[in-house]
Amino acid sequence: MSPKANPKSRKELIKQLHDSALAADLHQRIYWIYKNKDDRAKYVDTLNSYLGFFASSIQAHFVAIVVILYAIYEDRHDTVNVGRLYEGASAGLKASLNADYARAKAIWRKIAILRNNHVGHVSDSLGIDAVFQLANITYDEIKELIELTKKLLNSFSYAEDRSSFTDSLDSAKDTYRLLDSLSKSFRTNAI
């Protein structure tokens, strides 16, 4: 016998999806510090000094971003996803969010290619380069999807009870502090 379903209220769905979007945002901020050319150049010696940690950390943050964003927009009716909120919204709210939701879904399809062929499943016929070429997704699109998601969820939340979310966590600031501390330690020990 399967457990009884315990459907969540719209407010619970919105909160859970916001928490997921926030997690994706925190991961992408860290990932970007590791990968963008300016920060990478500044911290390359530190990253290379702890290569095992940072190589796996970079991969872990990327996987987290893909898995979280995939889940936020998947089309199942038995999971927590933005589509359920959108479909259950009033006609007026849907009309006001239609362009943002359509853009988010267009980017999500690219995330789905990554998730379904490289992260959640590994394609037997496509190599990693082919998967990324097929997905044709940019880092800016990933950031855009996260921002669109937060905007949509704030709109749903406001329509529900006139509330909205503010994000106070800053993973970028903490990552810079960590890297600066490690860099200082590395320079001190190298002398």
Q: What is the 3-state secondary structure (H, E, C) of 74-133?
A: CCCCCCCCHHHHHHCCCHHHHHHHHHHHHHHHHHHHHHHHHHHHHHCCCCCCCCHHHHHH
**Considering the domain boundaries, does residue 168 fall inside one?**
no
**Considering the domain boundaries, does residue 85 fall inside one?**
yes
Q: How much is the pLDDT for 6?
A: 63
**Considering the domain boundaries, does residue 180 fall inside one?**
no
If you average pLDDT over residues 119-144, what whole number do you get? 89
**Considering the domain boundaries, does residue 175 fall inside one?**
no
Q: What is the chain's mean pLDDT, rounded?
A: 91
Q: How much is the pLDDT for 11?
A: 93
Tens-digit pLDDT profile for residues 143-189: 999 999 999 999 999 999 998 888 788 899 999 999 999 998 866 66
**Considering the domain boundaries, does residue 187 fall inside one?**
no
Q: What percent of the chain has pLDDT over 90?
A: 76
Confirm whether pTM is higher than 0.75. Answer: yes
How many domains is the chain built from? 1
Q: How much is the pLDDT for 88?
A: 93
> For the ranges 21-25, 59-63, 125-129, 157-161, which has the lowest average pLDDT?
125-129
Question: What single string gives the DSSP state of each residue in 30-63?
Answer: HHHHHHSHHHHHHHHHHHHHTHHHHHHHHHHHHH
Q: How much is the pLDDT for 39?
A: 94
Q: How much is the pLDDT for 168?
A: 80
**Considering the domain boundaries, does residue 101 fall inside one?**
yes
pLDDT bin (cut points 50, 70, 90) of residue 50 is very high
Contacts of residue 136, defined as CB under 8 A and 6 or more positions apart, other chains included, come to 110
DSSP state of 1: -
**Considering the domain boundaries, does residue 185 fall inside one?**
no
Question: Per-residue pLDDT for 103 more than 90?
Answer: yes
To the nearest 10 degrees (0 to 180), the angle between helices 51-73 and 139-161 is 50
**Considering the domain boundaries, does residue 2 fall inside one?**
no
Q: Which residue has the tokens 């600031």?
A: 173
For residues 124 and 116, give the distance between their C-alpha atoms in angstroms, rounded to a whole number. Answer: 11
User: 123: domain range?
Assistant: 10-162
